[in-house]
């Protein structure tokens, strides 16, 4: 949890009077940001044979365990084979503004990466089904073993024990460059990267947290709004 005592980083895009900006790159959360609702929560609820997942969720919500320990236990508790999970995922609906965002950034030559605390197999299925398989995606990893799944966390960060997938690692050293980082998210796993991004679009609990902490961000309710705001920033180079 970032300290409110730390000075907030300004969410400011360089103006035309500044030296020419080196451009942008955009990182976006998946669950409840691109998807309608939290897909991973839905899977855990639908395919857990016991209530153990709730105990883990409560321990995580109370801060007694980190997100990685919580997700690891919840995924290991699932009992499901891929065809059932795929059928469940076929019902996932996405914010239609995400296609607009993908298309805008593609036209402008701006890198877009999904960064998610969900799992690669689930996201690959949903993205392919919605014609979005071309969007780069970084997520936790999953393998099947019969009716069980084995999770792993290739983007965990020993310096950030609260995160399962520490999303900021994709744009902090050694993965940083001169481009301004735009981050779009909604929830608790987005707090860590949001405190290191140059421009943050936030909704729901992320927005509430950033406002409480006095950190600059732009509120949004759907990705069509974000796309329109970014189009203005890109074309007029101002907030």
| Contacts with Zn ion, residue ranges (CB under 5 A) | 160, 163, 166, 192
- Any contact of residue 32 with Mg ion (CB under 5 A)? yes
DSSP output for 189-212: GGHHHHTT-SEEEE-HHHHHHHHH
Q: Judged by CB, which is closer to Zn ion: 139, or 163?
A: 163
What's the CA gap between 13 and 238, in Å, rounded?
Answer: 6
Q: Residue 48 or 189: which CB sits closer to Zn ion?
A: 189
Alpha helices, H only, 136-222 = 191-194, 204-212
Nearer to Mg ion, 180 or 191 (CB): 191
Question: Would you count residue 95 as binding Mg ion (CB under 5 A)?
Answer: no
Measured from the CB atom, is 124 or 231 closer to Mg ion? 124
Say which entry of Mg ion, Zn ion, none residue 187 contacts (CB below 5 to 8 A, set by partner kind): Mg ion
CA dist 110 and 24 (Å) reads: 6
Contact by Cβ (8 Å): 117, 55: no
Q: Tell me the closest approach of the beta carbon of residue 150 to Zn ion, in angstroms.
A: 23
Residues 136-195 interacting with Mg ion (rule: CB under 5 A): 186-187
Give the position of tokens 């393998």.
143
Does 31 participate in binding Mg ion (rule CB under 5 A)?
yes
| Using rule CB under 5 A, residue 35 touches Mg ion | no
Which residue, 86, 155, 66, is CA-closest to 116? 155
The contact set with Mg ion (CB under 5 A) reads: 29, 31-33, 186-187
């Amino acid at each position: 949890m970032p300290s409110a005592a730390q000075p907030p980083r300004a969410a400011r895009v360089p103006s035309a009077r500044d030296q020419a900006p080196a451009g942008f790159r955009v990182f976006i959360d998946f669950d409840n940001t691109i998807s309608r609702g939290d897909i991973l929560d839905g899977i855990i609820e639908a395919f857990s044979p016991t209530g153990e997942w709730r105990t883990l969720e409560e321990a995580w919500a109370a801060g007694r365990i980190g997100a990685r320990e919580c997700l690891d236990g919840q995924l290991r508790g699932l009992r499901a084979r891929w065809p059932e999970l795929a059928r469940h995922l076929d019902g996932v609906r996405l914010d239609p503004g995400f296609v607009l965002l993908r298309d805008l950034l593609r036209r402008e030559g701006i890198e877009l990466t999904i960064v998610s605390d969900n799992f690669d197999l689930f996201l690959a299925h949903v993205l392919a089904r919605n014609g979005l398989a071309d969007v780069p995606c970084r997520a936790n990893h999953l393998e099947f073993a019969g009716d069980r799944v084995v999770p792993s966390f290739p983007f965990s960060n020993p310096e950030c024990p609260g995160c399962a997938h520490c999303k900021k690692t994709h744009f902090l050293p050694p993965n940083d460059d001169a481009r301004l980082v735009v981050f779009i998210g909604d929830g608790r796993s987005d707090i860590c990267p949001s405190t290191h991004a140059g421009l943050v679009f936030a909704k729901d609990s992320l927005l509430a947290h950033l406002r409480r902490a006095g950190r600059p961000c732009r509120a949004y309710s759907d990705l069509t709004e974000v796309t329109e705001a970014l189009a203005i920033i890109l074309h007029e180079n101002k907030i």
